[in-house]
Amino acid sequence: DAGVIQSPRHEVTEMGQEVTLRCKPISGHNSLFWYRQTMMRGLELLIYFNNNVPIDDSGMPEDRFSAKMPNASFSTLKIQPSEPRDSAVYFCASSLAQGGQSTDTQYFGPGTRLTVL
């Protein structure tokens, strides 16, 4: 299996521009997570989906952030408009959650390093 695939790996954009990050989870996994990692705050959960449905988006910092999962094999995280403080590494992870169990292992993608100038 190719693992979780994220694109692009690096993104440099100017303040005010729209940014779209993409994620392809591991085939067969039913849960997908978006995280943000910075030196100051570490890893933060932004949103997660179960069976393509957003379950918890309390970590999404502002209305400028939105995430979609149109099908089981694709998700996007969009920032519009982007700001310099959004600069971070964004990780996508997927897991196979089984019936209310919390011990599912999340497999992380390589991340997208976003720089907003």
Partner 1 sequence: KNQVEQSPQSLIILEGKNCTLQCNYTVSPFSNLRWYKQDTGRGPVSLTIMTFSENTKSNGRYTATLDADTKQSSLHITASQLSDSASYICVVRFPSGGSYIPTFGRGTSLIVHP
Binding site for partner 1 (CB under 8 A): 4, 41-45, 48, 50, 55-56, 91, 93, 100, 102-103, 105-106, 108-111
* List of residues 6+ apart from 34 with CB closer than 8 A: 23, 45, 46, 47, 48, 67, 75, 77, 90, 91, 92
Going across the sheet that includes 5-7, the strands are: 5-7, 19-24, 74-79, 65-71
Contact 109, 4 (CB under 8 A): yes
70/100 with CB nearer partner 1: 100
Q: Rounded to the nearest whole angstrom, what is the least distance from the CB of residue 55 to partner 1 in the complex?
A: 5
11/109 with CB nearer partner 1: 109
71/103 with CB nearer partner 1: 103
Q: Rounded to the nearest whole angstrom, what is the least distance from the CB of residue 21 to partner 1 in the complex?
A: 14
Contact 113, 89 (CB under 8 A): yes
Q: Rounded to the nearest whole angstrom, what is the least distance from the CB of residue 45 to partner 1 in the complex?
A: 6
